[in-house]
Structures are given as structure tokens and as C-alpha cells.
Amino acid sequence: MLIMAVYADVVSHRASTVRLHGVIECCAIYFLFTGITGICGAASYRRGLIITFLIMSLHAAIIFVPTAIITSSFDIHFYNHECWGECDWHLLSASLPQDSKCQILCGKNIDDSQRLSMNRLGTDYRLDAGIITLACIEMILALMTTFVCSQQLFGFCNPAAKAEITATEQSNIELDPLNPR
């Protein structure tokens, strides 16, 4: 997803207009860090890393996947409705200038003089559809890993934990004296 987001950012590179793929790139980097944390947690069986992976998976499922889907949907909408945008400042700038403006115009009512000063918004819908598909796959993976981490931490629906309990109970039964006096 990170590769597709970077490619979409390169394809839709505009000097001073609405660029939505930066948000998707941030989400993809978070997914990458989540995967690295999961690999480290699975390799070391450390409870702290498993808890961290659980929290990161929940964040991915609740915050970052919907954000990626929503921004790609906006991008598809801008592309299909022939939207044009213009800002007199860069959206990723650290400080906002005084009395700045940013406008988005859609449809066929934009004349040629406006189009010369504005930039076309949106990228090809196939690229954004691929990003949405990958975000849905990430949602499924995040929910599955959340369940597995919860199972590992809290022990519900875990046949191995039940087998350990029954083995402990059986060993306690064997240690009871036969003739209590």
C-alpha cells in the first residue's frame, strides 16, 4: 500500500493544490510499523510487544483504514466529477498565511481562464480502487491480529490454555492422599 500511495503521490504531484495521498502514505507507514512490531512480538513472545501490537492493530482497524478509504474515495470523486483546485499556500506548510484562500470547483461550468490557474484534482480511479482494496485487506488483517493477540493475552478460546488447566487439575488429583486421617 505504501508503494501505491507513493506512486499515486508522484502521479498526482501538484505544486499548490489539494494532495490527499500524503494521508494515505502516513497510514501505510503506520501499517508498516505495525507489521514490524508484530514480527518482533511474535519472535520474542514478550507481553509488552504483544500489547503494543494489539493496540496498533486496533488503531489500524478503527482509525487508519477508514482514513485511507475515505481519502481515496474523495480522490475518486474529484477525478470523476472533473474537479479543479487552487490554493495560494501549500497544504503541508508549517504555518498558514494570513487571508489565504483555497477553492475547489467541479463540473463543466469552469471556463478556460480558471482552468489555466487551477490544477486538476484526483488521480485515475483504478489506482485509488487498488488502495481501497489494500485498505480492506489491511482491515481484515488488523481484526484477525487483534483477535489473536487478545486470545494470546487473555486466553479465551485457546485450547492449549484449557489443556494446561486440565493437566494441572489432574496432577492435583494424583497428589491427594488415598487415606485421609
What is the mean pLDDT for each group of 10 consecutive residues in the chain (181 residues)?
65 56 79 87 82 91 91 86 80 70 83 82 81 91 90 74 55 54 60
User: What is the span of the domain harbouring residue 65?
Assistant: 2-174
Task: Look at residue 87 in the predicted model and tell me its pLDDT.
Answer: 78
**84 closest CA partner among 118, 42, 132:** 118
- Tell whether 96 is covered by a domain: yes
**Nine-digit cell at 154?**
487473555
- Tell whether 74 is covered by a domain: yes
Task: Look at residue 176 in the predicted model and tell me its pLDDT.
Answer: 52
Task: Look at residue 15 in the predicted model and tell me its pLDDT.
Answer: 45
**149 closest CA partner among 67, 41, 68, 66:** 41
Task: Look at residue 61 in the predicted model and tell me its pLDDT.
Answer: 92
Q: Is 40 exposed, middle or buried (0-12, 13-18, 19+ CB in 10 A)?
A: middle
- Tell whether 161 is covered by a domain: yes
- Tell whether 33 is covered by a domain: yes
Task: Look at residue 24 in the predicted model and tell me its pLDDT.
Answer: 78
**68 closest CA partner among 138, 143, 135:** 135
The reported pTM is: 0.70
Task: Look at residue 2 in the predicted model and tell me its pLDDT.
Answer: 66
- Tell whether 72 is covered by a domain: yes
- Tell whether 180 is covered by a domain: no
DSSP 98: T
- Tell whether 179 is covered by a domain: no
Task: Look at residue 57 in the predicted model and tell me its pLDDT.
Answer: 92
| Contact yes or no for 6/73 (Cβ under 8 A) | no
- Tell whether 76 is covered by a domain: yes
Task: Look at residue 154 in the predicted model and tell me its pLDDT.
Answer: 84
- Count how many domains the chain has: 1
